Structure 1
Amino acid sequence: MYLRDEFKNCETNVRLHGKVALVTGATSGLGLETARDLATRGAKVIIASRNPGKLETAKRDIIQTSGNENVIARQMDFESLASVRRFAHETIATEPRLDILINNVGAIGLEDKLTENNLQLMMQVNYFGAFLLTFLLFPLMKSSAPSRIVNISSLALLFGDINFDHMNDVGRYSNVGLYCNAKLATVLFTAEMNRRVNGSGVNVYSMDPGLIKSEILRNIDDDIWKSLLNNFVRIFGRSTDRVAKMPVYLAVDPNLKNFSGSHFRDCMEFYSHWSVNDTVLTKQLWDISKKLVNIVDEEDWEY
């Protein structure tokens, strides 16, 4: 009864024929189940991930289980901003529209180092990559309006810290701390983007999926901790097919058209963090993020 009530607000019968949806991190877990749900509703679904083999396996799985053959697999690696740009440019060049973007990529346990883009690896994979992808795809989504962006955050954001002088420091934060920082940045980015694109027909939401049975802990090096945490997740985590109802609901339900910029949990508006209302902070994060991912004039729709 508890699980049934937990997701009672997430039910929606919206069909998506003629719509195009993009889901990142879609080869397993929440991303895979979200892409499957969208495909079952009739959307053309683009799935993105770094591993070509897993992409093809996920594509076959979605086609077989949804009965929808309009599934496209495209490689993208958030560890490289060049890869994100290639993916975005290919999508813009080949897709006449984009109605839904689900930013689902998330990872913990990555090495504490700088990427080739001079960004801390955990921050780039969990925040900067999604920021860049969303920024580059916004003009296509605006031309497809009404359209929606859903950013997957986490309750971990409550322990996050946004310190612009040290966002990408190596050796300053724990791995979990970096994850918390990235998830806080995600909700601040959502709130600021909503302010900037208000009236464009593009709605943007953030959400906390809760504890999920997922593979997010797969990169942790300590085998003992990995085993303990994975067992905890297996016992107490929520099934991904049920949790996938949340991002789909935010992406499609007409009752949410006036809630852009809001944060959700279990398909209900939910508290995120006091700093989402600090417009000086969110504006600074937006501007610094644009600088750090090197948005050039040709890409800058705010220019």
Structure 2
Amino acid sequence: MYRRDDFSDCDTDIRLDGKVALVTGATAGTGFEIAKNLARRGAKVIIASRNATKLAGAKQDIIMDSGNQNIVARQMDLASLTSVRNFVGELRSEPRLDILINNIGAIGLQDRLTEDGLQLMMQVNYFGSFLLTFLLFPLMRRSAPSRIVNVSSLALILGHIDFDNWNDVNKYSNFGYYCNAKLADVLFSVEMNKRAADSGVSVYSMDPGLGKSEFFRNFENDILKNILNSALLHFGRPLHRVATMSVYLAVDPKFETESGKHFRDCKEFYSSWFANDTILTRRVWEESKKLVRITREEDWERAQNNFGSRTQLYNII
């Protein structure tokens, strides 16, 4: 007998032959399942992660699962803005990018500044993805219609954006930084939707819920880590089903007019609250640009040299 699950409304048979998709955090967990799902639909899938060994293994597993040989593994460390910029530079050879799924989510990282002067949890969970998405916009505009899916978390409801302190160390708990980063993911999605209007690039954010993963693997306290991971593995939702929601937002025609909204279990969720504070979303965008050191000259240079004319990026500067 067929049993309905939380993601039954997310199922779609859309094919992606000839399309190119990029998934971050795709060597394990939900990101790995998202990449397999996209590969089974015929897309060329680029998987990005900082660990070369895990990338190689994930690439082979995705090929074996999908029968799709068109899988590309590229190293990128979101804890390094230089690595993100180098990664974008390497994508010059790609003629198009139809789907970007920012799936990175990490907790239990050290409370310290990176070489870029950014708090590590905030950079990995938010600032790195912000820069990546910003710099890839010209290629995605050239490939339009294209879609960006930013994976957030229900933890965002506990998040707080204090522009004077959101990048400080020793200011929040580890979970607090995670909540703040996931709130920022959604606020930046709302603002990007406004700035990318009429570009053909749609942007969505979503809450995947709790999946059967070892999400707490970075915790130093082994007892706490084992308890929390055991709870997720027991009570969490199957990752291959959780992955269907990101893919659904990225491919299904019904979302063509839903850009800028936030989703949970394939339905709109809390979007009006995020969208209404236009002052907050605008400032998140501008302050994020400053912290990742985006300049107008760099924006235009990258847009012109990497992916096209200066006017391609102008709308979101």
Structure 1: tracts of 5 or more residues without a match: none
State the distance in 2 between where 1:281 and 1:212 align. 30
**Quick one: distance in 2 between partners of 1:123 and 1:6?**
30
Counterpart position of 2:305: none
Tell me if the contact between 1:187 and 1:276 (Cα under 8 Å) persists in the aligned partners: no
Question: Which runs of structure 2 are paired with 1:50-69 in the superposition (5 Å)?
Answer: 50-69=50-69
> What residue is the counterpart of 1:196 in the other structure?
195
Identify the residue that residue 44 of structure 1 maps to in structure 2: 44
Q: Distance in 1 between matches of 2:5 and 2:77?
A: 37
Aligned equivalents of 1:193 and 1:165: distance in 2?
A: 22
Partner of 2:160: 161
Taking structure 2 as the reference length, the TM-score comes to 0.93
> Residues 272 and 237 of structure 1: is their aligned pair in 2 closer, same or farther, counting only changes over 3 Å?
farther
Contact 1:149 1:202 in 2 (8 A): yes
Residue in 2 that maps onto 1:104: 103
Aligned to 1:135: 134
CA displacement, residues 145-175 of structure 1 (integer Å, 9 cap, x when unaligned): 0000000000000000000000111101000
SS at match of 2:108: coil
CA contact (8 A) 2:34 2:247 kept: yes
For residues 281-301 of structure 1, the C-alpha deviation after alignment (integer angstroms, 9 at most, x for no partner) is 110010010111011223253
Matched, 1:292 2:273: no
The 1:2–1:84 alpha-carbon spacing in structure 2 relative to 1, beyond 3 Å, is farther
Query: 2:190·2:274 contact (CA, 8 Å) conserved in 1?
Result: no
| Contact kept? 1:153, 1:207, Cα under 8 Å | yes
Say whether the 8 Å CA contact 2:17–2:41 is kept in structure 1.
yes
Residues 275, 43 of structure 1: alpha-carbon distance in 2 compared, 3 angstrom cutoff: closer
Q: Which residue of 1 aligns with 2:223?
A: 224
RMSD value, Cα: 1.3
Match of residue 177 from structure 1: 176
How much does 1:94 deviate? 1.1
Separation (CA, whole Å) in 2 of partners of 1:56 and 1:287: 37
Give the gaps of 5 or more residues in structure 2.
301-312
Equivalent-residue separation in structure 1 for 2:197 and 2:275 (angstroms) = 16
Secondary structure, in 3 states, of the residue corresponding to 1:289?
A: helix
Identity %: 66
Amino acid across the alignment from 1:132: L
1:207 and 1:263 in contact (8 A); partners too: yes
Residues 290 and 2 of structure 1, relative CA distance in 2, 3 Å threshold: farther
How many positions carry a matched residue from both structures? Answer: 302
Give the 3-state SS of the residue equivalent to 2:109 in structure 1. Answer: coil
Preserved contact between residue 34 and residue 248 of structure 1 (Cα < 8 Å): yes
CA separation of 1:161/1:259 partners in 2, compared to 1, >3 Å: closer, same or farther? same
Distance 1:272 1:202 in 2: 19
Q: Deviations over 1:21-49 (max 9, x none)?
A: 00000000100000000000000000000
| Alignment match, 1:85 | 85
Q: Distance in 1 between matches of 2:275 and 2:53?
A: 39
TM-score, scaled relative to structure 1: 0.97
CA distance in 2, matches of 1:225, 1:276: 37
